[in-house]
Amino acid sequence: MLAVRRLAGVFIDAAKKKKLHLVVETHSREMFGQFVREMREGHLDLGDFIAYRVIREGGCSRITPIDIDPATFDVYEQWERGLTQE
């Protein structure tokens, strides 16, 4: 768990220092939670982060953005499995 949190920090630092755009795919609740924590602590700007939910339906993938409240950084998504709110 600690390694996943550190890895999220590495992604954030690399993106900032190198001005990179990163695509990170994860099923890790801890990693997603760390990105949210970094936003709450002011280390990551919500404008620099977007999360998507991918659902398989009828042999196709449906991709929708995950809403993150800009004031509280709360996530109000219903997760069938995998990620949940902290």
The neighbour count for residue 38, using CB atoms within 10 Å, is: 19
Is position 23 within any domain? yes
Is position 80 within any domain? no
- Counting the structural domains of the chain, the total is 1
Is position 83 within any domain? no
Is position 55 within any domain? yes
**Domain span including residue 6:** 2-65
- Greater pLDDT, 53 or 84: 53
| Per-residue pLDDT band at 61 (split at 50, 70, 90) | very high
pLDDT of residue 60: 94
Is position 29 within any domain? yes
- Greater pLDDT, 25 or 77: 25
DSSP 8-class letter at 62 = E
Taking a C-beta distance cutoff of 8 angstroms, is the pair 65, 51 a contact?
yes
Question: What confidence tens digit (pLDDT) does each residue in 38-58 have?
Answer: 999 999 999 899 988 888 889
Q: What span, in angstroms and rounded, lies between the C-alpha atoms of 54 and 73?
A: 21
Is position 85 within any domain? no
Among 79, 17, 71, 60, smallest CA distance to 32 is for 79
Is position 72 within any domain? no
